[in-house]
Amino acid sequence: MPDFPILGPLQAAYFAMKNKSRSSAAQKWAKQHGLEFAPNSKTFTSPANPMLGQHASEFAGHSSRATGIFARLLGMSKMQQSFPQFSANRFRGDWQSDKNICWGTWKGYTVITWDTVFYDLQTQSDDWSEGEYSSILILTDIPLHGTLVAPNSLTKRLSSFGIEEGRGTFSMETIKFELDAFNKAYRVRGVDPKWTTAIIDQAMIEWLMQQKKHTIEVAPGGIMVSTWFTLKPEQTAEQLDFCTGFLEQIPEDLKHHHLDGSPA
């Protein structure tokens, strides 16, 4: 069981000052784009997760109170608890907390952007170290299957490490495509290779090759981009456009039907 972060007055003051300017910028950006803002998860009510009951294996069958206690014992943030089908950075740090949450509608999709502050306990010195990264979540009722599309370069793949650790990718198969340039640019894994190759068709491949490479985690209910560092407001807007663009590239028939032809 991870220890809980007990911060001294100086540490707490330092983290508060460090986050103040970023929180102010995030709030201003949210207002400019018609989004709601919450400085932390205490004043944030998460949009409904339609897949919570179906894809929350470690939470299934437990009450909301028990789920909350269980998640906090694992050091998970409220956002990770609310959307457990996503593995992005689930086990980064001993304790994670959501900050600077913006949510609302972006190009017709329900979106959430936020920073995660994580703490690591240095057991030898009994000190806490702290880090922060940004995430973007797009919710959709398009029928999606677990897929990881990660840039195939060391510097760009940092953001996929947490996903691969969280999921273990043990249920995913590595998928290769006919275009060698795409295989060199991206590493693709999926729980349903047939579905993954259906959505990453020639048009999607051409579109992805034109984008700045980012890791996308696809799961039932939506897609998520998680970074290694925090994003500036203009970078957040860029990532939101990237995510919604990815969903728009999915072949039209698969947005409304499963592979077997049944309605979504």
Cβ proximity of 50 and 221 under 8 Å: yes
Summarised one tens digit per residue, pLDDT across range 134-165 is 999 999 999 999 999 988 876 555 555 555 54
Summarised one tens digit per residue, pLDDT across range 22-68 is 899 999 999 999 999 999 988 888 888 877 665 545 555 556 666 66
Helix extents (H) in the chain: 9-32, 64-73, 78-82, 158-167, 180-185, 193-199, 202-209, 233-249, 252-256
Domain count for the chain: 1
Query: Which value, in Å, is the radius of gyration of the alpha carbons in the chain?
Result: 19
- pLDDT value at 72 more than 60: yes
Summarised one tens digit per residue, pLDDT across range 197-213 is 999 999 999 999 998 77
Residue 1: the pLDDT is 39
The number of residues making up the chain comes to 264
Could you tell me the pTM of the whole model? 0.82
Domain that holds residue 180: 1-264
